[in-house]
Amino acid sequence: MHFPGKMKAFFKLIRWPNLLIVILTMVLIRYAILEPLLTRTSVTLFSIAGASTKMALQTNWYDFAILVLATVMITAGGYVINDYFDVRTDLINRGKVIVGTKVPR
């Protein structure tokens, strides 16, 4: 897949590999840690004498997908804001900037 120059610069600006790590982390925590842990845990309800019930995740998959999407958008926005306001620092530290050269302010 070949992206035009500005699109490639935009993906570099939002740091897409970091966003993939955010998505992977959220999905793995939900399905590899929380769900197995909750399904193995029983809770005894005091309102019903002696009744125990299994714990479960409280959000549906689409609510979780919206949460992941919102987290990714906020993170990407933070990267853009950081690059926008730290042009001088990036020039000193990295010697190149994306905002103002490849992506217009």
Is 103 inside any structural domain? Answer: no
Tens digits of residue pLDDT in 10-49: 888 889 999 999 999 999 999 999 888 888 887 776 666 6
Is 100 inside any structural domain? Answer: no
Helix (H) / strand (E) containing 54: strand 52-54
Tens digits of residue pLDDT in 46-89: 666 666 777 777 889 999 999 999 999 999 999 988 888 877 77
CA 88 – CA 83 distance, rounded (Å)? 10
- Report how many domains make up the chain: 1
Domain membership of residue 57 as a residue range: 5-44+51-93
Global pTM reads 0.79
